[in-house]
Amino acid sequence: MIKNPVVCKFGGSSMADAGQFRKVRDIVLANPERAAVVVSAPGKRDKSDTKLTDLLYAVHETASRGLDFSEPFGMISDRYLSIAKELGLKTDIGSDLEKIREKILADGKNLNVSWVVSRGEFLCARLMAEFLGWDFVDAFDIVEINSSHRVSAEGYAAIAAALSKRERVVVPGFYARNALGELETFSRGGSDITGAILANALDARVYENWTDVSGLLMADPRVVDDPRPMPYVSYREIRELSYSGANVLHDESIAPCKAKGIPINIRNTNRPQDDGTVIGPHRKDVPHALVTGIAGRKNFSMIYIDKDMMNKERGFGARAMGILEGFGIPFEHAPTGIDSMSIIVDTAHLKPAQAEVIDAIERQLQPDKVRVFDEIALVATVGHGMTGQVGVAAKLFGALAAENVSVRVIDQGSSEINIIVGVDDADYDRAIRAIYGAFVGA
């Protein structure tokens, strides 16, 4: 393996069919520094198509109930066999598919869902390895994760040692080996994480994440017409934006690259000539707009607690959070006043236990008032350029007021790179367009 290689990850849309495989090969071979490739399972070929991973989940659900899974499995087989045939590959993918089918039949109700769905990436990597003429290396053999899906320093060293013996490799994404020696998948989109882990282990010069868009946009194009691209964004900014709803890159894939200052380049497989977006350390030499990006999510609830002299009562906030913890409910934000506290939670987490949560708050905290407000959206305005700038908040709230958008919650961290406002779900699109228009323009 060359020193400081370029590590590439190609998503499902990049692996959808034989034509996409050819694009990937052209991209990879165009730069001799590209020496490690991570692939996802084939994605949709068109809007009516089904992702291979979704078909594999269907296989697991059907087989684990003892039912006939031949229909979804047949669709999976046809996709891989057609890719292999069209590309003229000699890898006996048919034999691999038969071994998978036999294991599914043998395991029955004890079938490991992680193993089943990981076969999408496994088979795709096998085909791509032959198509490139590179070595196939199974992620299960080289990547070990702990209970938090993290790799230890020793684990990174082991990956580097294993790959140092290879010149160029293709590795399936989305899964690894846990501390018990079992196969375990990451959350959906987890091939991004695999690529970042390899980039860290190999001290990559850059981690290229190839997908179907030419980088990141300042806002959701479904909400804002033709939003501007983001040429450069810091690790901190993208973490804030990913958490707040921007979903081009898996947010857990940032940490392995950030640990070593490895830039992440989001690129478009269908437009390789585009520069895309670079994600890296906050750099003073990179010109920053006042606002880097705007993102948001809907369907939150706000638990509003009011109690006279709350600020004099030790441990009030800790007890409130302890109640949520007892019900397994994570919180998003908790803006407070002198005699009030608002706790923002995902509605889906709160609803199943809402009555019990409110009862516990009333019994343990004895508030003067407690209410739950639903259908709240959180909108985050992010940018290093906002730091220390006078009038940013005034401009933001002025834009919302001009559009008659009522603000229910305000939360700004001490870093000053993120202002979060809570608005009614119904005002979500108007809020984002208003903020974008104020800071970027129509």
Nearest to 41 by CA among 7, 10, 2, 4: 10
> What is the dihedral angle through the alpha carbons of 126, 127, 129, 130, rounded to the nearest 10 degrees?
120
Distance CA 294, CA 76 (A): 38
Give the model's pLDDT for residue 189: 80
What tens digit of pLDDT does each residue of 99-136 get? 999 999 999 888 999 999 999 999 999 999 999 999 99
Average pLDDT over residues 271-296: 86
Distance CA 167, CA 34 (A): 11
Lowest-pLDDT range of 36-40, 237-241, 414-418: 414-418
**Pairing state between β 216-217 and 206-211:** unpaired
CATH number corresponding to 293-439: 3.30.2130.10
**CATH top class, domain 6-203:** alpha beta
pTM: 0.86
Give the model's pLDDT for residue 194: 96
What tens digit of pLDDT does each residue of 158-171 get? 999 999 989 999 99
H-state helical runs in 205-346: 235-243, 254-258, 316-326
Distance CA 126, CA 391 (A): 55
Nearest 5°: CA angle at 38, between 33 and 41?
145
H-state helical runs in 251-387: 254-258, 316-326, 347-350, 354-365
What tens digit of pLDDT does each residue of 330-367 get? 998 888 888 999 999 999 999 999 999 999 999 999 99
Tokens of 330: 């994570």
Residue 169: in which H helix or E strand, if any? strand 169-172
Q: Locate the domains of the chain by residue range.
A: 6-203, 293-439
Give me the residues paired with residue 233 across strands.
279
